[in-house]
Chains A and B, each alone.
Chain A
Amino acid sequence: MMKNFKWVTVIVFAAVLQTTWPDMLRLQGVTPDLTLLLVVYFAITEGEERAMLTGLIGGVYQDTATNTVLGQHVFCHVIVAYAVGRISTRFVTEHPAVKAGSVLCAGFVDGFLHTAVRYVQEPRLGFFYTLLTSVVPTAFYTAVLTPVVFTLLRRLFAHDERAQGGVV
């Protein structure tokens, strides 16, 4: 119960931080995708189910906060969550670089999907230009934050993971 409460709180906090106070995180006009970081973290540590639910909650909040069509972020986060969750079971190392690489790849995929969806809905926005100017920097910036965010999350959920025999 407490774990779920903390889980939802962390998701909402990350989404609020990302959508309401993006200036706190913005660097050279690029804002990291904290929700995607959470999705990847829970995909690696707890599997694709919780990761997809994380993507659902965070995506709905992002869609609502940015007032876009409902489902854009949810769709991208859910697919990434499932993919990372499936692939992470094959990891043979806990090296932070692997996790950062996973986040980088997840960022590319998530950004690609999101840009594609938006391009389908509004073609005038452009596809490749958005990929180059927004998705790639965002993915890198998000990957850079991986060690920090993952360390905080591991400390936050350490007791619960130990109790469940999960990854510490």
Chain B
Amino acid sequence: MKLLPTLSSNRPLALLVALALLSLLSMALETKATIVHEAVRRTASMSAYPFLVAQRASAQGIDYVLDMLYGYNNLRSENEARAHDLAQMKESLTRFAEVQHENARLRDMLGFQRAERRLTLLPAAVLGTAKGTLTIDRGASHGVRESMGVVTADGVVGVITEVGDRASTVATLHHPHCNVGAMVRRNRIRAYDGIVKASKSDLSVICTMEYIDINDDVRQGDVVVTAPESMFPSSYPVGTITRVHHSETLWRFADVTPAVDPYSLDEVFVVVRAALAPEELAGPQPSPVASNAPEMPDNRTIQDRFAP
């Protein structure tokens, strides 16, 4: 009962005794100091475990955020690069489609040029359109002359009205200066004046075939082609009759929609000559081969043969 007060009053001595005894006991038992090391290590590891977990989680979070930030920047730059690539590809695609169209057109033109043996055609590119006229890149230096016809594979375009050195102006079927001799293909009926011309409005898409005899059989949907007497080769498409107007006179007139829309053309042909060349008409020349046939007897009299 008096132990605690005694210890309390002699605390330093008690502490000395306790520590000395514990030390002696430890030395007697030869307790290796590694036990302290191990205990400290385990305690430290156990104490540090939550902090390690927190540190790992925070490091992962920071890495995630940094990755997200860097990833965002990378994605942004990559997106910009992709957008740039996409724009270039779209431009290339557009150019490719344009080249494809051009290629198809040129193939059609080539096929047309090969098929139309009766025509001598000069290909030309359209430089511009204005009020029913076209400007093409072929002129006098290329052999173009006024009044030459201009066609495409689809039909008649118009007539050359002005010729420059390296460019020419084409009056299309929408222009009042263009008159094309035409007839209805089905029954070869012609108008009284024999032409198809632009209607009253310069910019109208409708051409007119005037002075059709009231008794002539002309119907809506009839195809109008060039007449043999025109500057174009005969039976070449001019357009289609879309409406026939009746009047109280002896004449009727019809609206003709041209076969070719001149405002959507990129290339045309100038008809340099509408018939085959004499050499082509004559065909190939026979090769001079020596004949083995006996010469024909000369039946002339001697006087005729030898008299001066």
Find chain A residues with CB under 8 A from B59 CB: none
List the 9 closest pairs (A to B, CB-CB), nearest first. Answer: A71-B26, A75-B23, A71-B23, A63-B33, A64-B33, A82-B16, A78-B19, A70-B33, A70-B31
Find chain B residues with CB under 8 A from A121 CB: 27, 30
What's the nearest-Cβ distance from chain B to residue A48, in Å? 5
Of the 9-residue stretches B35-43, B217-225, B265-273, B290-298, which lies at the interface with chain A?
Answer: B35-43
Q: Is there a chain A Cβ closer than 8 Å to B12's Cβ?
A: yes
Asked, given contacts A71-B26, A74-B23, whether A63 binds B16 with beta carbons under 8 Å apart, the answer is no
Per the 8 Å Cβ criterion, residues 1-56 of B in contact with A are 11-13, 15-16, 19-20, 22-27, 30-37, 40
Contact mask for chain A residues 69-86; partner B; CB cutoff 8 A; 1 contact, 0 none: 111101100110010010
Residues of B bordering A, CB below 8 Å = 11-13, 15-16, 19-20, 22-27, 30-37, 40
Select B27's contact among A48, A52, A53, A75, beta carbons within 8 Å. Answer: A75
What's the nearest-Cβ distance from chain A to residue B7, in Å? 13
Task: Assess whether A82 is in contact with B33, with CB atoms less than 8 Å apart.
Answer: no
Find chain B residues with CB under 8 A from A75 CB: 19-20, 23-24, 27
Expressed in whole angstroms, the Cα–Cα distance for A150 and B25 within the complex equals: 33
> A66 — nearest CB in chain B belongs to which residue?
B33
Find chain A residues with CB under 8 A from B26 CB: 69-71, 74
Expressed in whole angstroms, the Cα–Cα distance for A87 and B234 within the complex equals: 144
22 contacts between A and B (CB under 8 A): A48-B12, A48-B16, A49-B15, A52-B12, A52-B19, A56-B19, A60-B36, A64-B33, A64-B40, A69-B30, A69-B32, A69-B33, A70-B27, A71-B27, A74-B19, A74-B23, A75-B19, A75-B24, A78-B19, A82-B12, A117-B27, A121-B30
Query: Which of B13, B32, B35: most chain A CB closer than 10 A?
Result: B32
Query: Which of A48, A59, A70, A117: most chain B CB closer than 10 A?
Result: A70
Task: Assess whether A78 is in contact with B23, with CB atoms less than 8 Å apart.
Answer: yes
> A78 — nearest CB in chain B belongs to which residue?
B19
Task: Assess whether B20 is in contact with A72, with CB atoms less than 8 Å apart.
Answer: no
Expressed in whole angstroms, the Cα–Cα distance for A82 and B17 within the complex equals: 10
Expressed in whole angstroms, the Cα–Cα distance for A74 and B12 within the complex equals: 15
Expressed in whole angstroms, the Cα–Cα distance for A117 and B11 within the complex equals: 26
Select A47's contact among B12, B22, B33, B37, beta carbons within 8 Å. Answer: B12
Task: Assess whether B11 is in contact with A69, with CB atoms less than 8 Å apart.
Answer: no
Contact mask for chain A residues 114-131; partner B; CB cutoff 8 A; 1 contact, 0 none: 000100010000000000
Query: How many chain A residues touch the partner (CB < 8 A)?
Result: 26
Q: Is there a chain B Cβ closer than 8 Å to A20's Cβ?
A: no
What's the nearest-Cβ distance from chain B to residue A16, in Å? 13
What's the nearest-Cβ distance from chain B to residue A116, in Å? 11
Task: Assess whether A71 is in contact with B31, with CB atoms less than 8 Å apart.
Answer: yes
What's the nearest-Cβ distance from chain B to residue A74, in Å? 5
Asked, given contacts A60-B36, A63-B33, whether A71 binds B16 with beta carbons under 8 Å apart, the answer is no
Task: Assess whether B36 is in contact with A71, with CB atoms less than 8 Å apart.
Answer: no
Expressed in whole angstroms, the Cα–Cα distance for A60 and B15 within the complex equals: 16
Asked, given contacts A69-B26, A75-B23, A78-B23, whether A52 binds B15 with beta carbons under 8 Å apart, the answer is yes
Task: Assess whether B16 is in contact with A78, with CB atoms less than 8 Å apart.
Answer: yes
Query: Which of A52, A71, A121: most chain B CB closer than 10 A?
Result: A71
Q: Is there a chain B Cβ closer than 8 Å to A67's Cβ?
A: yes
Expressed in whole angstroms, the Cα–Cα distance for A112 and B36 within the complex equals: 25
Task: Assess whether A49 is in contact with B11, with CB atoms less than 8 Å apart.
Answer: yes
Expressed in whole angstroms, the Cα–Cα distance for A53 and B27 within the complex equals: 19
Q: Is there a chain B Cβ closer than 8 Å to A9's Cβ?
A: no
Select A79's contact among B11, B16, B35, B37, beta carbons within 8 Å. Answer: B16
> B30 — nearest CB in chain A belongs to which residue?
A69
Expressed in whole angstroms, the Cα–Cα distance for A141 and B40 within the complex equals: 32
Query: Which of B24, B25, B27, B35: most chain A CB closer than 10 A?
Result: B27
Expressed in whole angstroms, the Cα–Cα distance for A63 and B37 within the complex equals: 10
Q: Is there a chain B Cβ closer than 8 Å to A68's Cβ?
A: yes
Find chain A residues with CB under 8 A from B22 CB: 71, 74
Given known contacts A56-B19, A64-B34, what 12 new A-B pairs fall within 8 Å (CB)?
A: A49-B11, A52-B12, A55-B19, A67-B34, A67-B37, A69-B26, A69-B27, A70-B33, A74-B19, A75-B19, A78-B19, A78-B20
Asked, given contacts A63-B36, A67-B33, whether A72 binds B12 with beta carbons under 8 Å apart, the answer is no
What's the nearest-Cβ distance from chain A to residue B8, in Å? 12
Expressed in whole angstroms, the Cα–Cα distance for A58 and B24 within the complex equals: 17
Task: Assess whether B16 is in contact with A70, with CB atoms less than 8 Å apart.
Answer: no
